[in-house]
Amino acid sequence: MLLTKNEIKKRLTDLDTQLADQRESVLFLASSVLGRDVSLPSLHGIIGSKNRDFADIERRQFTSVDEFQSIWAENMISFYEPYKKYWKSEKDLPSILKLYKDDIIRQYILLFQERNYYRWYEQRIREKPSEPLWELWFGSKIIFGLYVALSFCDDGTFKFKPSEVRKVPYHYWTIGNILGVKGFVNGETGNLYPIRNIDDLLMFYEHIIYCSSSSVYEKVIYTKYIEYLKSSPNVLEEPFLIPELHYEGKEQKCTYRLDFAICNPYTFETIGFELSPASTHMAIQRACGKTQQQINAELSKKWENECAKRNSYFGKYGITIITFTDSDLKDIDSCFDKIKFYLQKRRHMPQPIDETVLKIESLIEEKE
């Protein structure tokens, strides 16, 4: 069960007290172990600087303090294992290993890590996207990129920093994400196409995405998605319906493009949608005069290409693809209802046990 802010605050206060009580003796021991005067900032720097190397805090999700501490310790061993053949005595060990070997100092390190866990509680327990999903490139005539996080400098320039991924206040791949990074990156110029508010985004969808499409079916889906966003009670938390997702990043001529994709930050499902009328996906050019064997060979090649596309997207992004065929597209409303199902999908959050017990009691009372 998730901790409340008050519960986190209490734990941090208790940990601050415990660390303060041990500080003087631990600094004395650390100075003795390392053979030099160790200050408090120096000690904390030695411990805290290893979080990225040993715990992979930019990518990993931690469900408990114990998991954070255990993974940190296991990866410390794995990190230094290849170097042990070069160590002739204990004095050759890295500082962090020397400190961790001491029972009293190790207890201080574990407390320090526990405090770090609760200081960054939301970031530590947060499920984080895999690297291929840190930037998504989409579009047909103009290619745009959506980043899960961007860091902005005073002069207005920006860059992607992996360390920012876990810190962002919005949900990944949502409308809030788009506004949080202030828009889309133009794949050709590298400049930011500004999206300052929801009206900017709706204009972008209506005048750039909609007008770039040559598919009647896509245009209807775009229109329905715009209506869906306009009617949403919490539009910032709505997943972005990604049009023409590129497999090879910002390359204009991409091997594969997916008609639509949803990366749902609440379930961490990635779903793709293909509008696949036979007239465009399985048509045989100049079929007249060809033998049945030649037609079958061309159909087989088209099907292999379609399967390769699906396998590639699943392998890179974990995207499962739903295909709307000719018969599906006759009822475009039904097609969008299927898309909407994945837009609205949320992870079930169980009620507190006390509330469940009360419901059980009320059921018994009703029966009586």
pLDDT tens digits, 76-128: 999 998 888 888 888 888 999 999 999 999 999 999 999 999 999 988 988 88
Q: Please name the amino acid found at residue 297.
A: A
Looking at residue 36, its pLDDT comes to: 95
Pairing mode, if any, of strands 319-324 and 269-275? parallel
Looking at residue 302, its pLDDT comes to: 63
Angle 204-206-322 from CA coordinates, rounded to 5°: 95
Other beta carbons within 10 angstroms of residue 2's beta carbon come to: 9
Which residues of the chain are under the pLDDT cut of 70? 252, 277-307, 348-357, 359-368
d(CA 58, CA 61): 9
- In the sheet where 257-264 sits, what is the strand order? 192-194, 183-186, 144-147, 135-138, 242-246, 257-264, 269-275, 319-324
Q: Please name the amino acid found at residue 196.
A: R
Q: Which residues are within 8 A (CB) of 245 and not within 5 positions of it... i.e. 6 or more apart?
A: 136, 137, 138, 257, 258, 260, 261, 272
Mind listing the pLDDT tens digit for each residue in 148-167? 999 888 887 899 988 889 88
Q: Which residue has the tokens 């949608």?
A: 273
Looking at residue 364, its pLDDT comes to: 58
pTM: 0.74
DSSP 260: E
